[in-house]
């Protein structure tokens, strides 16, 4: 499967491949309206050059970019913010109230990532995290809006995956940029134009009831499409709500069943993997079980870690 670096998906929106780990894992989006531009999600620091190359090839001046908008501060979504802002002199960073401080002073964010990955792997995956001047930051509360030359973007507080998470509703496309709230849908799992969605419960702030409430909040807008960071355009999102909720509930059941395990994360990873592979059997994908296992392995490990943290708080 070939993933294009840049893909125009309508409504003045281009999907950009961020280059994280493998093609088709993470995306960001450039929205053009008249002579102004918003960049939603940034990928990592390594993605900055890819975004800037897109702007240059489309004769978009850096000064035309008005907003940089990560849905939350996890590094696959916001790692490139500082590097991008340094190259976009008139842009403002629009960020969740609970995420702003991590972009202004990212030392703790970087230290946490270094602790998890180590210096070499952190550099390979994320590159660096560069601070943003406080006077260039706009904090977006629930239901706040931003005006992109008459195109209104609405910000919706959507905890559940992370408490510093918002989603962005665009009235022109009647779509939502969902970050991690509406799950993951990898291109390799699309069959006959039917995607396979699964939740993401990565550390450290997964909360099942708020996540389900956030999904309902998004659907109350009756969106016609979702722009997923992981990965790409999803039409008719109402078709996948029940499955997402069912899987979140199943994750909680699996977590509760294993909460006294001496090897909690390992047992959770195995249980989540088997559960998801069973779901995929009815999805009629052409991939072998081994290929499917490799594709979901990282997510199942991270989801297990997130569930373990959630259990520790109960």
In this structure, the answer to whether residues 147 and 198 fall within a common structural domain is: yes
Rounded CA-CA distance 5/27 in Å is 9
First to last CA, the chain: 42
Of 188, 212, 236, the residue that ends a domain is 236
For 153, which DSSP code? E
Question: In this predicted structure, what is the pLDDT of residue 277?
Answer: 96
Of 197, 214, 236, the residue that ends a domain is 236
Q: pLDDT digits over 84-142, tens only? A: 999 999 999 999 999 999 999 999 888 888 887 889 999 999 999 999 999 999 999 99
Question: In this predicted structure, what is the pLDDT of residue 284?
Answer: 83
Question: In this predicted structure, what is the pLDDT of residue 71?
Answer: 98
Q: pLDDT digits over 216-238, tens only? A: 999 999 999 999 999 999 999 99
Domain that holds residue 111: 6-236
Question: In this predicted structure, what is the pLDDT of residue 117?
Answer: 85
Rounded CA-CA distance 254/311 in Å is 11
Residue 159's domain is classified under what CATH number? 3.60.15.10
pTM metric for this prediction: 0.96
Q: pLDDT digits over 238-251, tens only? A: 999 999 999 999 99
Of 185, 207, 236, the residue that ends a domain is 236
In this structure, the answer to whether residues 283 and 152 fall within a common structural domain is: no
Chain position carrying tokens 């059941």: 253
Q: Could you give the number of structural domains in the chain?
A: 2
Tokens of 203: 């550390």
Return the closest-CA partner of residue 281 out of 160, 218, 196, 211.
196
In this structure, the answer to whether residues 22 and 161 fall within a common structural domain is: yes
Please determine, for residue 209, whether its predicted confidence score (pLDDT) is greater than 90. Answer: yes
In this structure, the answer to whether residues 121 and 248 fall within a common structural domain is: no
| Residue 258 phi, psi (nearest 5) | -105, 5
Q: pLDDT digits over 52-76, tens only? A: 999 999 999 999 999 999 999 999 9
In this structure, the answer to whether residues 86 and 168 fall within a common structural domain is: yes
């Amino acid at each position: 499967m070939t993933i294009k670096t840049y893909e125009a998906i309508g409504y003045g929106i281009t999907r950009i491949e961020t280059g994280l780990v493998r093609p088709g894992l993470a995306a960001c989006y450039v929205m053009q309206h008249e002579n102004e531009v918003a960049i939603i999600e940034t990928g990592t620091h390594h993605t900055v050059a890819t975004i800037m190359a897109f702007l240059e090839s489309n004769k978009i001046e850096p000064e035309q970019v008005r907003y940089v908008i990560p849905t939350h501060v996890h590094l696959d979504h916001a790692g490139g913010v500082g590097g991008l802002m340094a190259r976009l002199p008139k842009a403002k960073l629009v960020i969740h109230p609970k995420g702003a401080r991590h972009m202004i002073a990212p030392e703790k964010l970087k230290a946490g990532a270094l602790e998890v990955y180590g210096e070499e792997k952190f550099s390979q995956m994320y590159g660096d995290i560069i601070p943003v001047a406080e006077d260039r930051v706009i904090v977006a509360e629930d239901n706040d809006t931003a005006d992109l030359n008459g195109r209104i973007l609405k910000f919706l507080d959507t905890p559940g995956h992370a408490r510093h998470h918002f989603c962005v509703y665009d009235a022109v496309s009647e779509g939502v940029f969902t970050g991690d709230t509406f799950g993951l849908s990898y291109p390799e799992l699309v069959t006959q134009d039917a995607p396979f969605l699964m939740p993401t419960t990565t550390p450290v702030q997964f909360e099942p009831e708020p996540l389900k409430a956030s999904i309902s909040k998004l659907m109350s807008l009756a969106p016609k499409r979702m722009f997923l960071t992981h990965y790409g355009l999803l039409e008719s999102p109402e078709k996948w709500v029940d499955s997402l909720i069912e899987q979140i509930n199943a994750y909680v059941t699996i977590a509760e069943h294993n909460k006294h395990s001496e090897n909690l994360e390992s047992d959770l990873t195995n249980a989540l993997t088997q559960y998801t592979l069973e779901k995929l059997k009815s999805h009629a994908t052409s991939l072998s079980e081994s290929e499917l296992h490799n594709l979901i392995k990282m997510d199942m490990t991270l989801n297990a870690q997130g569930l373990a943290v959630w259990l520790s708080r109960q």
